[in-house]
């Protein structure tokens, strides 16, 4: 096993000594980021896939409560800001899959993904797995699966300009000033303005079926099928280990930390196995939240902000039916705009990485096959997109592959 040795674990007294107002503020902002745009992505994906309100609330419980526990444990053990949530690209992959796969089949693919990531961590092959497919080709797939959220945001102007326009306007205005955006995240400002627009129009409709406020996780028996395994397991593992963990590790390294790569992969495997039981998407190391909490304070105390995020995530997860109902009761344009704005920078980054530099033809083929969305043998397009993009690139971009290969 190649696990990195934990630091001397933080004690309760040490945590309270290290905790400061800056950590609390950063932790609250980081949590609010996860509970707004990314949460909207979950609800938009699940609703599109035909999941019930109870299934969505259970998904939210697993994504927040279980990952909150994992985040607190790792922040204490390694004394670093190591916050785990769920893979956003992986979540988006699930939407089309639910069109031809049952939810138990998807859960079976979650479990297989968790086992694969855990095996890679135990063998120390995480680095090799991360380098197996060039990043531009991977990001071509990511750009393809994210594109629908950007289009839904634009279409929201047609269906409900009274909601989409003010949300977008305040998002852009707050983003103009880095100093203001550091204190008031643009996405949170858009959410508040959207809520005010809904209230003014009187279109908030919370009259859904009665449900409790506290979480009641839905335990579903997994179903293992070859179509689900082939379509989802490899793309999900790639989005976690390469896209999401790669981003989170880069953020923490830039902040002066030494993130434990193999141990992080193991945490993602274990977290995925646990959260899959209640229908939540695979666990990953979050990039944006860790970026927020690893700024503006002494590096050796930044783990305290991660614990604040973990505690808030657990509380949010315990109240997941309440928050799920409130968001589902909002107009569709509100969710579409919030999710689209949350994806803007991610979509921009995906296009930039995919079509700048090497492997651009393979990335283009991957993007086109993903957007086409044509399943073959009941296996969804993202899987075939990776294969098609890699094959075309191997045939026509051999110089790029030769340049990427490690030199003896």
Please write the tens of the pLDDT for every residue from 205-241: 655 455 578 888 888 899 999 999 998 998 899 889 8
Which H or E element spans position 258?
Answer: none
CA 183 to chain CA centroid, nearest Å: 23
Task: Provide the phi-psi class of 377: left if phi over 0, else alpha when psi is between -120 and 50, else beta.
Answer: left
Q: Are 223 and 108 in contact (CB under 8 A)?
A: yes
Q: Please check whether residue 306 is in contact with residue 71, taking contact to mean a CB–CB distance below 8 angstroms.
A: yes
Q: Which two tokens stand for residue 308?
A: 């604040």
Side-chain half-sphere CA neighbours of 294 within 13 A: 24
Number of Cβ within 10 Å of residue 21's Cβ equals 8
Coil, strand or helix: which one is 84?
strand
Give dist(CA 168, CA 150) in Å, integer: 12
Rounded-to-integer distance, Cα 37 and Cα 49, Å: 18
How many C-alpha atoms does 284 have within 13 Å on its Cβ side? 29
Q: Residue 203: its pLDDT value, please?
A: 64
Residue-range domain boundaries for the chain: 12-203+211-404
The answer to whether the predicted template modeling score (pTM) of the entire model surpasses 0.75 is yes
Number of CB atoms found within 10 A of residue 298's CB: 11
Residues near 232 by Cβ (< 8 Å), separated by ≥ 6?
Answer: 93, 94, 97, 106, 109, 110, 113, 380, 383
Q: What 3-state class would DSSP assign to 284?
A: strand
Backbone angles phi, psi at 85, to 5 degrees: -135, -130
List the Cα angle 108/114/115 in 5-degree steps: 90
Q: Does residue 236 sit in helix, strand or coil? A: helix
Cα–Cα distance, 188 to 173 (Å, whole number): 13
| Per-residue pLDDT, 205 | 60
- Are the beta carbons of 314 and 84 closer than 8 angstroms? no
* pLDDT of 207: 55
Beta bridge partners of 213: none
CB of 60 within 8 A of CB of 320?
yes
User: What pLDDT does residue 130 have?
Assistant: 67
Residue 290's alpha-carbon distances to 12, 17, 82, 308, in angstroms, are 22, 21, 7, 12
Residues shown for the chain: 408
CB 269 within 8 A of CB 114: yes
Q: What is the pLDDT of residue 72?
A: 96
- Give CA–CA dist 225/222, Å, rounded: 10
Residues 6+ apart with CB under 8 A from 196: none
Cα atoms found within 13 Å of the Cα of residue 37, Cβ hemisphere only? 28
- Model confidence pLDDT, tens digit, residues 94-129: 988 898 899 999 999 999 999 999 999 988 887 776
Q: What residues in the chain have per-residue pLDDT under 70?
A: 1-2, 9, 129-131, 203-211, 296-297, 378-379, 405-408
Cα distances (angstroms) measured from residue 22 to each of 304, 355, 375: 10, 38, 49
Q: In this structure, what token pair is assigned to residue 130?
A: 């991360």
Alpha helices in 35-87 (DSSP H): 37-48, 53-61, 67-78
Dist CA 334 CA 328 (whole Å):
10
Residue 212 dihedral angles phi and psi, to the nearest 5°: -70, 165
């Amino acid at each position: 096993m190649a696990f990195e040795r934990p630091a001397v674990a933080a004690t309760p007294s040490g945590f309270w000594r290290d905790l400061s107002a800056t950590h609390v503020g950063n932790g609250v902002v980081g949590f609010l980021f996860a509970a707004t745009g990314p949460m909207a992505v979950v609800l938009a994906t699940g609703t599109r896939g035909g999941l019930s309100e109870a299934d969505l609330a259970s998904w939210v419980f697993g994504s927040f409560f279980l990952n909150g526990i994992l985040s607190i444990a790792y922040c204490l053990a390694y004394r670093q800001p190591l916050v785990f949530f769920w893979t956003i690209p992986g979540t988006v992959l699930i939407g089309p899959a639910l069109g031809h796969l049952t939810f138990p089949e998807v859960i079976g693919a979650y479990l297989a993904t968790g086992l694969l990531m855990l095996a890679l961590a135990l063998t120390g092959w995480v680095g090799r797995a991360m380098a197996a497919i060039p990043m531009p080709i991977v990001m071509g797939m990511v750009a393809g699966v994210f594109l629908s959220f950007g289009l839904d945001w634009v279409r929201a102007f047609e269906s409900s300009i009274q909601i989409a326009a003010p949300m977008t306007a305040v998002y852009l205005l707050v983003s103009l000033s880095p100093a203001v955006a550091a204190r008031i995240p643009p996405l949170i400002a858009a959410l508040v303005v959207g809520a005010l627009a809904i209230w003014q129009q009187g279109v908030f409709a919370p009259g859904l079926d009665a449900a409790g406020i506290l979480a009641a996780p839905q335990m579903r028996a997994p179903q293992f099928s070859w179509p689900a395994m082939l379509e989802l397991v490899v793309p999900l593992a790639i989005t976690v280990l390469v896209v999401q963990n790669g981003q989170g590790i880069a953020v923490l390294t830039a902040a002066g930390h030494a993130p434990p790569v193999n141990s992080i992969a193991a945490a993602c495997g274990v977290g995925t196995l646990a959260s899959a039981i209640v229908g939540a998407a695979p666990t990953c190391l979050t990039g944006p939240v860790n970026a927020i909490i690893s700024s503006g304070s002494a590096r050796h105390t930044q783990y305290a902000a991660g614990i604040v995020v973990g505690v808030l995530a657990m509380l949010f997860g315990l109240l997941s039916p309440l928050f799920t109902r409130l968001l589902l009761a909002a107009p569709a344009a509100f969710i579409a705009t919030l999710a689209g704005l949350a994806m803007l920078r991610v979509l921009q980054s995906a296009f930039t990485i995919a079509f700048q530099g090497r492997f651009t033809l393979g990335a283009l083929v991957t993007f086109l096959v993903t957007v086409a969305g044509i399943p073959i043998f009941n296996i969804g397009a993202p899987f075939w997109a990776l294969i098609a993009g890699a094959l075309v690139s191997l045939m026509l971009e051999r110089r790029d592959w030769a340049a990427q290969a490690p030199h003896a």
